Structure 1
Amino acid sequence: MGAISRLLSLQPGSALRNTAVGAIAVMAIGLFGRVLSYPVQDDENIHIATALLLSDHHIYRDLGFVHLPNLPLMLNAVFSLSGTDHYVLAGRLLVCLAWVGAAAALGLIAWQKTKSPAVVATAIILLMTNTLLLGPAGMLVTNNLLPITVSLFGLYFFIRGMEEYRGRPWLFFLSGLCISVAIGLKVNNIFLVPPFAAAAFLAPAGQPFGARLKHAVLPMIAGGLVGGLPALYYLAQDPDGFLAHTLRYFTYAHHDYWQTLDEPKVMGMAGKLQIAEQMWLGGATLLAACLALYQFFVPLSSRERPEGHVAAGWLFWLTIGLIALGAAVSFIPTPAFSQYFTPPVAFVIVLVIVTHAGLDERERRLALPLMAAVVALSMVAGASRLVPGIPAFFMPHKWTGIVVHDNARAALGQIGGTAAPRVATLWPIYALEGGGTIYPEFAAGPFVYRIADHIPAADRRHFRTTSASRLPAFLDADPPQAIIVKNNGRSDGELRDYAIANGYRPVPLDRSGELSVLVRPDSGKK
């Protein structure tokens, strides 16, 4: 422990400091290897498939997307600019970039507030070893990690704007832009707005209201409007259809569907509290909270602080507000899953930075041993997830994006008659990676198909989909050349039954046995 404490206190350029940088680099390799080799999961289908079909179809009316539009738009830009046909790989590389961005934003905030390399390193390590983010939330091509990156940059620009107040309205514009983009990635990030709005109106103390309005509030609103243009565009096109997909889908059909399933699920507050306990009261999140609390209470015990607590300024209360509202919004979705509990975790790390910034030199030295212990324990907590990623990083032939692409190409290559076979599947990633085409009705994967019979009658006109009861007639009207099913998928039974009834023959897709490709009898290679 003493060695780690010395490491954190050495001056820049020292051998031990360089060792710390090297350790972070090794952890980053493990992190990237984990992202690139993490198995494909259900949620990625809707985002990747929607992004690929976005240029020729309406994101809601045709494709049934059920989130705000920013992530498919980002992915579409990545696919278009790169010209890649390795869609999962490109998406996972974007996730790696989001990790780099989140670490950079935390490092910038830490340096801005403390000028301490030790705090910069601590913040980055606490992020990289967070076990919640090292799960599906931070590994998959979904809208869970990217909003964290963008919102942290929003906070950084806001801090810079407050500290360089007059003459820097563009910083507040960028802050508002980032916050709005984060909301456009996932609607639950609306929790960001009240704390930032309150801080823009009320801080810093001593500024006239007119100055706050001119230099902070109005630029933030302008940035928010620019960042919100994609969502506002689709809202203006069809307000009722937009709300049917992004709001009523979750409050009615999605909820009703899960109520009908006779399997373990978390629907009530008691179960949500248990998930919150597992996600927040352990690993790097709990360690960061302990360090922040210690740094907050150290000045309170000092007799040399007659002027009061330096830490409890506007940034402290802004961070507390972000943590509190981020925690509260985590309990709203039903049923609950672990990824819904990500909103507050990055701001707990920010609280470590803010409370450290409130310490004087003597108090910082007192906090150093605990900081060293937190760094060491968080690295231990994340090791079981990061270490296997190190060799995985150096084996690109085993990266998930490469394996999925090669397997899908090989399987669909056995279909004769066309270069882009028509595939019916609730897992469109595999069809698209294999060079096939899909029905727009299945672009949302299982997420709209399985709840189709639960959609209120007034909203059905907004959804282009089919359902289990209507599937045979739907496919008979335009039979697919192949059908891809997940062998343990709860929603695939009707697709499999249709394939068997119509003589589709199986061809291998991968060695895992998780998926099957069934080819129409007249579609095989001659």
Structure 2
Amino acid sequence: MSVLQSNQLAAAVDQASHVGHRQKWLRLAVSVASVAGVALLLGALYGRLMTFGLRRDEMMFVPPAQYMPDWQLYQDVFFNHVPNVAWFFHSMHIVFGDQGLLGAARIGVFLLWVLLILAIVWTTLRISRSWLLALFSAVAILAADPLLGQAGMAATNNLLPLPFALLGLGLFVVETMEQRPRSSLIFVAGMCLSLAAGSKVSAVVFIPPVALAAFLLPARISLRTRLTGTVLPLAAGGLVGALPVFWYLLDDPQLFLAHVLSFHTGPHIAYWTANAASEPGLAMGLGGKLQLAFGAWLAGGSLILATVLVYLFWMSLRAGHKGERQDGKCLGQIVVVLAVTALAAVLSFVPTPGFPQYYIQPLVCLPILGALLYRQIGTQDRQQVVPVLCASMFVMLVITLPRLMPGLASLAKPDDFTSARLVRGGQELQQALASHNVPEGPVATFMPLYPMEAGLDIYPEFASGQFAYRIAPYTDAELAAFYRMVGADGLGDLFGKQPPAAILVGYDPDLEAPMLEYVRANNYLEVPVAELSNRYGEGRLFVRTTGGQD
């Protein structure tokens, strides 16, 4: 080899090494920027969550954080949902109790968001082996319109099942694509699916398709191996995850079903049928439900995600037609995910009335479906997907950032958090009672979080806010016997046995009218108190005086 050739070879090697270093640093920079971007989005999400207005539904889900385990769910208080959500917020209160009841609950919701995003990234990355697709999937869920509303911002049971359902489905899909699924992870998948169903009844839709698929996947192994390695571990995990529900169900089946099932199929529907005019846009029929579904599935970030999925499906079909499909062994997994998505979509129309939060569960299946479709695309075609994913992420961020960025700015003013205002309202309430030497007794209100934040007593009948009270006229005597509840006709007896130290109203004039009548009849004194206003109205506090009822 001549000296000239040696020099040319050395220069080529040096240039290749330089290019390699540049690519390495470029990948590192992109990775750092991606992590920083997701962290920034999560920070903005946290700020939005903590400043999101108080919701009536939180009067049902947050109080158990304090009154458990002194009061028993279903027996001592009205609670119309499965128990996992109550115990979740109770555990959050134990850990973050210094943030107040609502603050601890909202922090718990944020941790669920983090778990959901991590589950999406891990699942899509394991299936597709593409960091770009994993990042796109995370941004797509962050940009989903319904999750930026009450479904994902309020301390309720709407978000709680999603990370567990996604993890359960994702683990099952990932493991059944292997020659020999790891039974330990299949066990975890079953447990996660049951935990999701124990957090919200509607999440049970994730279980039947997976349970059926366990007898068929992986297809390349014997039935005996499949039974011992997939079916039995999945069932065992499911039983372990369902233990909290079984505990309450077996302890008193009639009581449990009266709250979790009979309420939603009886007095709940009757109440809204009679009071539909009080809730604009209430979806009582199929037409209204279709409009809600359209807004959840085919608007904003969800529409972009659906469009990308159609594109990936077309690319997958093209790869199969050209004989360039990378992995044709995941057709069974695609069918499972499609079945779960379809079943969740169909059953979201079952509850009456329909609310936007009922239509969010199919959304978490879409990242897994996208990863499976991407897995089948050839290497050349994947290069064509890159600009589509990048452009889609950009559009999603353009649509979503105006809603998220105010949350980032709010982090500088934690005193303006909804939870902080609620704590101050409770303190003002407590000081008002102390300054007027109010006799001991519970506070009667449909906003029990205010007195509970200050450690004041409340009536068990109002521990779930207005939800038990308002259905009293629509509940037959046989079913009402299972509920710790009181209606307008029973207020006199309830207050006669234990007069309220104070009555807090101002949030629902129609339902609160009997309380105001009691106030006027028993010489309660109105005391001006700050920090008791929320999206439902200005709080009015009436305290018991020595001249009132004893």
Bucket of the pairwise TM-score, normalised by the shorter protein: over 0.9
Q: Cα distance, 1:309 vs. partner?
A: 8.0
* Structure 1 gap ranges (5+): 1-8
Q: Which amino acid aligns with 1:377?
A: V
The one-letter code sitting in structure 2 at the alignment partner of 1:313 is L
Q: Is the 8 A contact 2:438 2:544 kept in 1?
A: no
Aligned residue number for residue 432 of structure 1 = 452
CA distance in structure 2 between the partners assigned to 1:284 and 1:238 by the alignment: 44
Structure-1 residue corresponding to 2:296: 279
Is 1:253 the equivalent of 2:267?
A: yes
TM-score by length of 2: 0.89
* 2-structure distance, mates of 1:462, 1:375: 50
Aligned position for 1:358: 376
The equivalent of 2:400 in structure 1 is 382
Q: Is 1:455–2:475 an aligned residue pair?
A: yes
The 3-state SS of whatever aligns with 2:511 is: coil
Deviations 1:169-203 (A, max 9, x none): 11111111111010011001110111111221111
CA separation of 1:425 and 1:384: change in aligned 2, threshold 3 A: same
Instruction: Name 1:474's counterpart in structure 2.
Output: 494
Identify the match of residue 118 of structure 1 among 122, 129, 132: 132
In structure 2, the residue matched to 1:337 is 355
Question: Are residues 166 and 349 of structure 1, via their aligned partners in 2, closer, same or farther at CA, if it must alter by over 3 Å?
Answer: closer
Instruction: Give the structure 2 partner of residue 518 of structure 1.
Output: 542
The alpha-carbon deviation at position 418 of structure 1 amounts to: 7.7
Q: Which residue is 2:8 aligned to?
A: none
C-alpha distance in 1, partners of 2:480/2:518?
24
Q: Partner of 2:467: helix, strand, or coil?
A: helix
Listed one character per residue, the Cα deviations across residues 28-64 of structure 1 (whole Å, up to 9, x for unaligned) are 1110100111111000111111232121122002111
Q: Which amino acid aligns with 1:380?
A: V
Aligned to 1:145: 159
Identity %: 32
- In structure 2, what is the Cα distance between the partners aligned to 1:174 and 1:419? 53
Residue 522 of structure 1: CA displacement? 3.7
How far 1:10 moved relative to its partner? 8.8
1:506 offset after TM fit, Å?
3.0
Whole-Å separation in 2 of the counterparts to 1:523 and 1:313:
77
The structure-2 alpha-carbon separation of the partners of 1:509 and 1:226, relative to structure 1 and needing over 3 Å to count, comes to: farther
Which structure has the larger Rg? 2
| Cα displacement (A) at 1:166 | 3.7
2: CA distance, partners of 1:92 / 1:112: 30
Task: Tell me the CA shift for residue 394 of structure 1.
Answer: 2.2
The CA deviation at 1:98 is 0.5
Q: CA RMSD in A?
A: 2.2
Helix, strand or coil: the match of 1:521?
Answer: coil
Aligned residue number for residue 373 of structure 1: 391
The alpha-carbon distance between structure 1 residues 461 and 296, as it changes in their structure 2 partners (threshold 3 A), is same
Q: Which sits farther off after the overlay, 514-523 or 336-345?
A: 514-523
Gap change, CA 1:379 and 1:205, over 3 Å in 2: same
Q: Which moved more, 1:304-313 or 1:191-200?
A: 304-313
Structure 2 CA distance for partners of 1:252 and 1:310, relative to 1, 3 Å: same
TM-score (norm: length of structure 1): 0.93
Does 1:406 find its partner at 2:424? yes
- Contact kept? 1:415, 1:523, Cα under 8 Å: no
Secondary structure of the 2:71 match is coil
> What CA distance in whole angstroms lies between the structure 2 residues aligned with 1:227 and 1:170?
14
Aligned-residue offset at 1:453: 2.1
Range that drifts further, 494-503 or 131-140: 494-503
Counterpart-to-counterpart distance in 2, 1:297 and 1:311: 18
Local SS of the residue matching 1:483: strand
Distance (whole Å) between structure 1 residues aligned to residue 363 and residue 547 of structure 2: 51
How many corresponding residue pairs? 516
Per the alignment, residue 46 of structure 2 pairs with 32
Q: Secondary structure at the residue paired with 2:504?
A: strand
Kindly provide the CA deviation profile for residues 361-419 of structure 1, in whole angstroms up to 9, marking residues without a partner as x: 11111112211121111112212210111111221111111111012111222112589
The SS at the match of 1:424 is: strand
Q: Do the aligned partners of residues 142 and 158 (structure 1) sit closer, same or farther apart at CA in structure 2, a change above 3 Å counting? A: same
| Contact persistence 2:316–2:373 (CA under 8 A) | no
Pairwise mapping of residues 435-446 of structure 1 onto structure 2 (< 5 A)?
A: 435-446=455-466
RCO higher in structure (CA 8 A, sep ≥6): 1
Change (3 A) 1:475 1:442: same
Write the mapping of 1:121-132 to structure 2, written as runs, cut at 5 A: 121-132=135-146
3-state SS of 2:541 partner:
strand
Q: Does 1:93 align with 2:107?
A: yes
When residues 312 and 153 of structure 1 are mapped into structure 2, their CA distance, relative to the original with a 3 A threshold, is closer
Corresponding residue number in structure 1 for 2:17? none
